[in-house]
A and B are shown apart, each in its own frame.
Chain A
Amino acid sequence: MTQQELVEAFSAKAQAVNAVVQEVPHMAAALQYVVDVCANKAPAEILADEPETQKGPLGPNKQPTRVQKIVAAPQLAEEDFAALAKLCEEKGFLCLRDNVRKYLAGIDVGVGLAELGVAASGTCLCNTDNEDVRLSGMISEISVLLLKKSAVYPDLPSIADKLRERMGYGEPTYSTFITGPSRTADIERVAAVGVHGPLELHIILLED
């Protein structure tokens, strides 16, 4: 398979498990996408006590919603984060680079970098060693992952060495393979999306 075919296969498999896949030409467009997604979504519900936070009307699950939306992007390079923070500021969103643990009650959008993609299952491998990175992919209502097209591999066996390298040193690592949004079929085997993790997963395919 050519790289282009791998990317197409990846997209098809990811969409089959309810991921939204979007190709963009460059990082600036990706950041704009993040801000648009956040602007167009209903404000996140606050699922636990956050005493100092201003609370809006009840959301679909009868929980108060955020008045100020939150985007977390702890993994972005400094200049990219600065650009995103600026876009967020214009919209009035809070843009986090750390301290995500303060907002465990739920944030709007979490932005992460996928280390690589696996075409066979539409999976992203994320390096989530950093706690803020891990949390922002878990407690956000919409998780956005940025994936370079050149980093799509055919299947799991083809990435074994990369994993070994990652995990081979004494430093602790936490690797997360993500395939679609969080889901369950625990009640009557009826598929439902959005249990404890994101309600939606968006994958942004970036040119190198």
Chain B
Amino acid sequence: MHDALVSRSGYHKEIDQALGDDFLRRTLDTFAVAYRANRAAVFKEVDEKGLIKKVADAKDYACQHMEELYAKFKAEAEKRGVHVHRAKDAADANRIIAEIGKQNKVKRIVKSKSMTAEEIHLKTALEKEGFIVDETDLGEWIIQLRHEGPSHMVMPAIHLSRYQVADDFTKVTGEKQDTDIQRLVKVARVQLRRKFIAADMGVSGCNFAIAENGAVSTVTNEGNARMVTTVPRVHVVLAGLDKLITKIEEVLDAVQVLPRNATAQRLTSYFTLMCGAGQCNAEGSDNGRKIMHVVFLDNGRTQIAKDPLFKQIFRCVRCGACANVCPVFRLVGGHKMGYVYIGSIGLILTYFFHGHDRARILVQNCIGCESCANVCSGGIELPRLTREIRSRLNAEEGNPIEGTLMSAVMKNRKMFHSLMKFASFSTKPFAGGSGNARFMRHLPMAVLGKHGYKALPALAPKPFRDKWAEIMPRVQNPKLRVALFAGCAQDFIYPEELEAAVKVLAAKDVAVDFPMEQTCCGLPLEMMGQRKTSIDVANQNMNAFRGGNYDYIVTLCASCASHLKHGYAEILDGTTSMLQAQAFGAKVIDFSSFVHDVLGLKPEDFNKSDQKVTYHASCHLCRKLNVHDAPRELIADAAEYVPCEEEEVCCGFGGTYSAKFPEISAQILNKKLDHVQATGASRLVVDCPGCVMQLRGGAEKRGMHVKVDHIAELLAENIKK
């Protein structure tokens, strides 16, 4: 069990170690790519979004009726000879299970996999009470031999190589073991069979506890859970209260999602429904019946169920998909991307189950790319919840200095914008390059340290807002009236992207306005957990665009767009500004969708160039706004579109994330640039100035001959007048 995550420097040291682990990197990389394709293939056969919605609804209902379902389950299970217990916390659960063991004169215990048992450190607790405890899931057994914790909720030993496993198995058997994986698996078969037979008690987890008939279920591949629940005379089931579910249909829906999401299987080898204390011919059984206990764990769950936002974490079915698609997990592995629970949900559950100390640094390690939310079995808004925890931690414990400073500046638009202009002036001596490729060229590496992986952009000599009066187009008989939302990066670093957009819009008879009172969208503040100021800023922006009677509010930044469109309504939920936020959000649209879907630009609107252009899909565009085709079709209209590998995987920017975890950001960027290079394209376009900053800076640092631009610039160059 690692605990370096309570100190920032310790955590970064661990991350460096993980990044230096070539085996881990290669394994997770191969997995990430294969998983994506395999998952898509098995989901094609079912209605993915429909099933996810069903899981979410069923689990939401169960969460709101937890006590009622518990009472029903208890009555039904007891009718069928099962003893039902309720533990208020980890210590209580461990005590109850140890008591059951003692009452039944148990010496040896076999366990099948249970994340809830990991949550309460059950094995350690039982060993302290003198029981001999053996894990029987292959991965769990391996990490038990190594005294480690799981690094994935479904594949607990994914961080280990066959060589490490062979060494461990050599030690435990006292015989030299082959490194062939098929043989290693059989070592477990042979070694653990005796343990199943010798065990007096089996402890299993529980995927679903069905209230209508008091049944518990397990979903497994190896067959160890069947052995654990069948061979010993005593069976203890450990289940979080969140595992309660109303009826069979809901379980049947959920198991169509869970294995598909976990391991891209249609169904696992074994899915069992154990309904009551059944037949057991083991010596010492209860007259031919199993001695069966179900222990429900609260450990804060009844409190979480009352939280209007966080109650949705009970939709989690522990499939691990949030880790499978996470670009950070892919680099650093589960031991650095969670404590006991792994992946995005792990960051959140750590806060609730394992203390704010362990969560404080961990919750920073979400890049906010939304990949997890996009695949979650229960449709949990994972990155949003992570940001919410950051802001709760700040509210509980005071702001870190960076956040406080940022808030102080952002609260006051004039001060913020004056500072940006001053920064442009004062950094002039460091700036170099020409045209739109302006970089800070003269910063000493000592200043940059880990941040030196990309060339940093220089601020524009003149921000967009100061140019607006000169460039504002006069459109006769406009067909639409739109307002531009600039976002900080384009206003102060890349005003030419906005100028390009204005050119395209004006060419298609759209009247464009630029409300001067607009400021930062507030997403960086959210990422830093600065909720109060982020609300101030949201209100400022909504007021800036009020009264303009615009048809649309167009923004060229996918992150700003998703925050303006969805984020404002989330952070203002329950306030008097909520309706205003929804109305405001309804008008917000990203640039590509606007010109493609609303203006309906077609191939004939462009002088198609023969330039080879590839694309990077910004996270917030493809996952928060669900825009996929518009930019690709636009590129193909204006130039030769060359698709790129892993086009919809994050570039590693993540706003303030890249400043907090430059070592991770750099690695994600490198992978992305490798893919871009492989396309042979001479230009890369994106829908977000943050991605431009990251990718252009990285390409510059690597000396790549690829021009990185906003898509608006490509379109403006090739649009027919």
Q: How far is the CA of A196 from the CA of B228 in the complex (A)?
A: 11
Decide: B281 and A182 in contact? CB cutoff 8 A.
Answer: no
Cβ distance B216 to chain A, nearest Cβ, rounded Å: 11
Q: How far is the CA of A16 from the CA of B533 in the complex (A)?
A: 55
Q: How far is the CA of A189 from the CA of B157 in the complex (A)?
A: 9
Decide: B263 and A185 in contact? CB cutoff 8 A.
Answer: yes
Residues on the A chain within 8 Å of B46, using CB:
120
Decide: A186 and B189 in contact? CB cutoff 8 A.
Answer: no
Residues on the A chain within 8 Å of B378, using CB:
none
B280 at the binding interface (Cβ < 8 Å): yes
Cβ distance A8 to chain B, nearest Cβ, rounded Å: 15
Docked complex: B231-259 residues within 8 A CB-CB of A: 231, 247-249, 252-253, 255-256
Given the known interface contacts A172-B277, A195-B138, the answer about A134 and B267 at a Cβ–Cβ threshold of 8 Å is: no
Residues on the A chain within 8 Å of B247, using CB:
164
Decide: A187 and B138 in contact? CB cutoff 8 A.
Answer: yes
Residues on the B chain within 8 Å of A13, using CB:
266
B31 at the binding interface (Cβ < 8 Å): yes
B44 at the binding interface (Cβ < 8 Å): no
A7-35: CB near B (< 8 Å → 1, else 0) gives 00000010001000000000000000000
Q: How far is the CA of A90 from the CA of B192 in the complex (A)?
A: 34
> Which of A17, A157, A170 is B249 in contact with, Cβ under 8 Å?
A157
Residues on the B chain within 8 Å of A168, using CB:
213
A106 at the binding interface (Cβ < 8 Å): yes
Query: DSSP majority for the A interface?
Result: loop
Decide: A156 and B155 in contact? CB cutoff 8 A.
Answer: no
Residues on the B chain within 8 Å of A123, using CB:
267, 271
B426 at the binding interface (Cβ < 8 Å): no
Q: How far is the CA of A190 from the CA of B161 in the complex (A)?
A: 11
Q: Which residue of B lies closest to A166 (CB)?
A: B275
Residues on the A chain within 8 Å of B161, using CB:
188
B-contacting 9-mer, from A65-73, A81-89, A108-116, A173-181? A173-181
Q: How far is the CA of A138 from the CA of B222 in the complex (A)?
A: 10
Q: How far is the CA of A110 from the CA of B193 in the complex (A)?
A: 17
Given the known interface contacts A130-B279, A174-B274, A186-B142, the answer about A104 and B196 at a Cβ–Cβ threshold of 8 Å is: yes
Given the known interface contacts A60-B186, A171-B80, A182-B223, the answer about A106 and B193 at a Cβ–Cβ threshold of 8 Å is: yes
Cβ distance A148 to chain B, nearest Cβ, rounded Å: 20
Decide: A131 and B45 in contact? CB cutoff 8 A.
Answer: no
Residues on the A chain within 8 Å of B158, using CB:
186, 188-189
Q: Which residue of A lies closest to B193 (CB)?
A: A47
Decide: A195 and B267 in contact? CB cutoff 8 A.
Answer: no
Cβ distance B163 to chain A, nearest Cβ, rounded Å: 10
Decide: B192 and A178 in contact? CB cutoff 8 A.
Answer: no
B255-290: CB near A (< 8 Å → 1, else 0) gives 110000001011111111111111111100000011
**Residue of B27, B181, B189 with most partner-chain A CB within 10 A:** B189
Given the known interface contacts A47-B194, A182-B221, A186-B137, the answer about A160 and B249 at a Cβ–Cβ threshold of 8 Å is: yes
Cβ distance B355 to chain A, nearest Cβ, rounded Å: 29
Residues on the A chain within 8 Å of B280, using CB:
131
A167 at the binding interface (Cβ < 8 Å): yes
Q: Which residue of B lies closest to A191 (CB)?
A: B181
B156 at the binding interface (Cβ < 8 Å): yes
> Which of B155, B196, B223 is A195 in contact with, Cβ under 8 Å?
B223
A81-109: CB near B (< 8 Å → 1, else 0) gives 00000000000000000000100111000
Decide: A192 and B278 in contact? CB cutoff 8 A.
Answer: no
> Which of B162, B194, B196 is A187 in contact with, Cβ under 8 Å?
B162
Cβ distance B83 to chain A, nearest Cβ, rounded Å: 13
Decide: A186 and B138 in contact? CB cutoff 8 A.
Answer: yes
Q: Which residue of B lies closest to A195 (CB)?
A: B222
Decide: A167 and B269 in contact? CB cutoff 8 A.
Answer: no
Decide: A178 and B213 in contact? CB cutoff 8 A.
Answer: no
Decide: B181 and A190 in contact? CB cutoff 8 A.
Answer: yes
B343 at the binding interface (Cβ < 8 Å): no
Docked complex: B371-409 residues within 8 A CB-CB of A: none
A204 at the binding interface (Cβ < 8 Å): no
> Which of A45, A132, A173, A181 is B269 in contact with, Cβ under 8 Å?
A181
B112-148: CB near A (< 8 Å → 1, else 0) gives 0000000000000000000000001111001000000
Decide: A175 and B281 in contact? CB cutoff 8 A.
Answer: no
Cβ distance A30 to chain B, nearest Cβ, rounded Å: 23
B160 at the binding interface (Cβ < 8 Å): yes
- Give the B-binding residues of A (Cβ under 8 A): 13, 17, 45, 47-49, 60-61, 63, 101, 104-106, 118, 120-123, 129-132, 134-135, 138, 155-157, 159-160, 163-164, 167-168, 170-190, 192, 194-198
8 contacts between A and B (CB under 8 A): A135-B231, A168-B213, A179-B270, A184-B138, A187-B138, A188-B158, A194-B186, A196-B189
A-B CB proximity, top 7 nearest:
A197-B223, A172-B276, A186-B139, A182-B223, A47-B193, A121-B266, A195-B222
